[in-house]
Amino acid sequence: MKSFCIKTNNKNIIDYLLDNFSFPNTYISVKKFKVYKNIIIHFVGETNSKEENSFYNYLSNILVNIIINFYEYKLFKFIITSNYFYFSEKEQKLILKKCIDHVSNNNTTEHEVRIEHLYIAVLKYISNNKSMILDGFVNFRISNYMKILDYVVDISVNDLVINREYNEFINLLKTYIKSKSINIGLVHLIYKRTNSFLLNSKYEKIPLSDNINDLNYISDVSFSENDIILNTLLSLLPQKIIIHLEKESDEFIKTLISIFEDRVQIK
């Protein structure tokens, strides 16, 4: 017989274990000692067998699920409040939400990698020990998993900063537009996969400035075709912009709508 003891006082975790642990040739006993409640899982199947290996794999997966479901949110929150305390409470909540959304996304590398790191750490531990203080294991035995969470927090913070700078950029340009007079009535933007261009109300081509020194309102440092179009529109300050799409709307079109608001019409 093999037995493994999980020590915790978290009622939700205890209930989760009792409700979800179901493996052949096992039974569970719960005992209260001085500090912790002890959930003791007894394996009475054949030792040194494939069944015993399956038991350890099964128990590892259960413990991984417990850490993900009952600790991960708090771990993210701890990392954020410790390393990014200078962000506002609202921003910290946004970062936390971004972290949870990121690891919940099946298409991200971190979704699977963090689970793999947890599984390896748990399996190694339960294979060499007879008991686990759950809080202690989470605090001291999952360093590789914590590195993944640190990384996810970092990219979520970067995303927040980029979004904040983007919104500041949009608001700055909106203020500029409202403070200036209209220079032209109507501009058509023919938005193509390559070589987009501007037309006036008579469908005559409007020249675009390709002189970097003239780009007063560039959206980034790449000096792309879209930057030149945006700069030209901000110089013209049209009363109305009709956008003719050859392709689907993208971030640049969304940016134009954010800047020029009700002056934009999509065709």
Which of 7-21, 69-83, 192-206 comes out lowest in average pLDDT?
192-206
Mean of per-residue pLDDT scores for the chain:
92
The pLDDT of residue 218 is 53
The pLDDT of residue 47 is 86
Mind listing the pLDDT tens digit for each residue in 62-109?
A: 999 999 999 999 999 999 999 999 999 999 999 999 999 999 999 999
Contacts of 98 (CB under 8 A, 6+ apart): 156, 159, 160
Query: pLDDT above 70 covers what percent of the chain?
Result: 94
The pLDDT of residue 14 is 96
- The answer on pLDDT for 221 being more than 50 is no
The pLDDT of residue 222 is 45
The pLDDT of residue 249 is 86
Mind listing the pLDDT tens digit for each residue in 208-219?
A: 865 545 545 554
